[in-house]
A and B are shown apart, each in its own frame.
Chain A
Amino acid sequence: MYKKLGNTRCFALIAAVFLILAMPALAEEAGAINSGDTAWVLVSAALVMLMTPALGLFYGGMVRKKNVLAIIMQSFIILALISIQWVLFGYSLAFGPDTGRGLIGGLEWLGLNGVGAPPNPDYAATIPASVFMIFQMMFAVITPALITGAFADRMKFSTMMVFSVLWATLVYDPVAHWVWGMGGWIRTLGALDFAGGTVVHITAGVSAFAAAIIIGRRLGIGKENMAPHNVTMTITGGALLWFGWFGFNAGSALAANGLAASAFIVTNTAAAAAALTWTIVSWAHGGKPNAVGIVTGAVAGLVAITPASGFVGPVPAIIIGIGAGIFCYFAMHLRSRKTNVDDSLDVMACHGVGGTWGAIATGIFASIAVNSAGADGLIYGNAGLVVKQLIAIVAVMAYSLIGTTIILKVLDATMGLRVKDEEEIEGLDISQHGEKAYL
């Protein structure tokens, strides 16, 4: 005869058995996921998210008063649109299992199916796959938002919404796949882009330039006063962008470690060098050192260091910042003096030229000593990396140009790109949004 186990002891025994059986799985998950890495990447995702409204402010201060809400609204609506697009299919297209030729991911992860707490070691072995996804989302959000600067003050809101989703799906997602996706052909080629010099800045810059050409110049340009209506707003946006960029670059280390620290440091260094360079160059070029200049210079430096941030040390970062300050400054002047392209907020000069310089500089200054998962650049004897960078740059530029042109031409024929003249004169805030920023 045996004594029957009481109910409580029965449950306790069953629970203990389950716990013991589950131990290996828990231990595996607990052992693989690093809480420091996860915390840092989550915070970085939040930092990069902030950069999109910050961009709205940065741009907003530079447009005329009657158009400020429109450009801020564009950033916000893109944040909302791409947040959903990414979850539904964007992430799958960009980072999902390659469909064969390294051109695009599949739809296995539609609705984030299969993207959960377990890490995906192809991308980041110590953080949940979902954390990698949400971090990448914020890059997919800000990239189309950058383009809004080129067609400021004259783009139809409805068409802009459709454009942003189409562009994100047909241009951003494939290029992200090429450069960062598992099996992506540029990743396989061995070109380096730590945090998005090519994926974010070159695509946005070139696409913006194409958009500015297709949409046409603002009414009254050259005759009317189109000076910034609120420089303090622009500075606020710029400050938040610099702050958020620590998440953009250092977060791309996908770990809370020495590489993240190094990326953080070179990000700040390049921003500072570029801000100083722009200030000095604009001062020497016949003006006075001004606030819009210093913050634009800082942004140019941040753009340029983006692809290099996980591969170079602080001294090359200074050189990269100085280069950005010079190249982007003169690109801006070239655009306004020698072309009649009204890239209104100089997206191409800052992001296109800055990103290109940064990608080439990565090919020059990258060092295995900084990041063993990278490569050595030109100054360490490896000329091949610069070649790979150039291939990536040219391919992405061409694709962005063609893709954007096709999308815009189709939208122009169907929905119309530009507001009516009287709507543009009245101002987008009233004509597109029925709102006044300042009563």
Chain B
Amino acid sequence: MKKIEAIIRPEKLGEIKTALATAGFIGLTTFEVKGRGRQKGIMLSYRTSEYRVDLLPKTKIELVVDDKDFEKVVGIICDIGKTGNMGDGKIFILPVEEVIRVRTCEKGTGAI
């Protein structure tokens, strides 16, 4: 099993969620995060000072999938999440040791 951690543009979340659900991937967790990448942030000004805001708001999605599914999920996220501009985000894949469903305590891929 693999965990997919995807940092995406916040405005892309709705579309990606819908597409994942359509493809059969219902369970996921989202986080509001701030991050800095090569985008270099933006300049804002206030009265006499200017300041660079280089931590920009992003959304992080986490979902755990069976080994056979992760390429499909990554494909969905990339296709919808990309705009072609800097700041589209990143996806990280991690190995998962075990998955347990709290309601029934069952383990394994069936618990995803």
CB under 8 Å from chain A, chain B span 27-53? 44-51, 53
User: 0/1 per residue, B44-65, Cβ < 8 Å to A?
Assistant: 1111111101000000000000
Contact with B along A215-244 (1 / 0, CB 8 A): 000000000010110000000000000000
Closest beta carbon of chain B to A290's beta carbon, Å:
7
Interface size on B, residues (CB 8 A): 9
Cβ < 8 Å to B, chain A residues 323-368: 332-333, 335-337, 346
- Cα distance, A62 to B48, chains bound together (Å): 13
Cross-chain contact A292 with B46 (CB below 8 angstroms): yes
Pair A293/B47 contact, Cβ less than 8 Å: yes
Alpha-carbon separation in the docked complex, A292 to B50 (Å): 13
The chain B residue sitting closest to A333, CB to CB, is B48
Tell me the complex Cα distance, A287–B47, Å: 10
Give Cα distance in the complex from A333 to B48, angstroms. 6
Q: How far is the CB of A196 from chain B (nearest CB, A)?
A: 24
Chain A's interface: helix, strand, loop or mixed, by majority?
helix
In the complex, the answer to whether B44 meets A227 with C-beta atoms within 8 Å is: yes
User: Residue of B at shortest CB range from A222?
Assistant: B49
A225 contacts B48, C-beta separation under 8 Å? no
- Chain B residues near A336: list those with CB within 8 A: 47-49
Residue contact A296 to B51, C-beta cutoff 8 Å: no
B47 contact set on A, CB distance < 8 A: 292-293, 296, 332, 336, 346
Cβ of A288 and Cβ of B48 under 8 Å apart?
no
Residues of B within 8 Å of A293, CB to CB, are 47
Residues of B with C-beta under 8 A to A227: 44, 46, 49, 51
Alpha-carbon separation in the docked complex, A296 to B47 (Å): 9
Measured between beta carbons, the chain B residues less than 8 angstroms from A332 are 47-48
Q: Which residues of A contact B51 (CB under 8 A)?
A: 225, 227
- Give A332 to B45 CA distance when docked, in angstroms: 14
Chain B residues with CB below 8 A from A346, complex form: 47-48
Pair A337/B48 contact, Cβ less than 8 Å = yes
A332–B46 alpha-carbon span in the complex (Å)? 12
Contact present for A287 and B49 (CB under 8 Å): no
A50 to B49, CA, bound (A): 30
Residue of B whose beta carbon sits closest to that of A231: B46
Q: How far is the CA of A351 from the CA of B44 in the complex (A)?
A: 26
Within 103-129 of A, Cβ neighbours of B (below 8 Å) are at: none
| Closest CB in chain B relative to A57 CB, distance in Å | 17
A selection of 27 A-B contacts at a CB cut-off of 8 Å is: A62-B46, A225-B51, A225-B53, A227-B44, A227-B46, A227-B49, A227-B51, A228-B46, A287-B45, A287-B50, A288-B45, A290-B45, A290-B46, A292-B46, A292-B47, A293-B47, A296-B47, A332-B47, A332-B48, A333-B48, A335-B48, A336-B47, A336-B48, A336-B49, A337-B48, A346-B47, A346-B48
Known: A225-B51, A228-B46, A292-B46. 17 other contacts (CB 8 A): A62-B46, A227-B44, A227-B46, A227-B49, A227-B51, A287-B45, A287-B50, A288-B45, A293-B47, A296-B47, A332-B47, A332-B48, A333-B48, A335-B48, A336-B47, A336-B48, A346-B47
Q: Which 10 A-B pairs have the closest CB atoms?
A: A336-B48, A287-B45, A227-B46, A333-B48, A332-B48, A228-B46, A292-B46, A225-B51, A227-B51, A292-B47
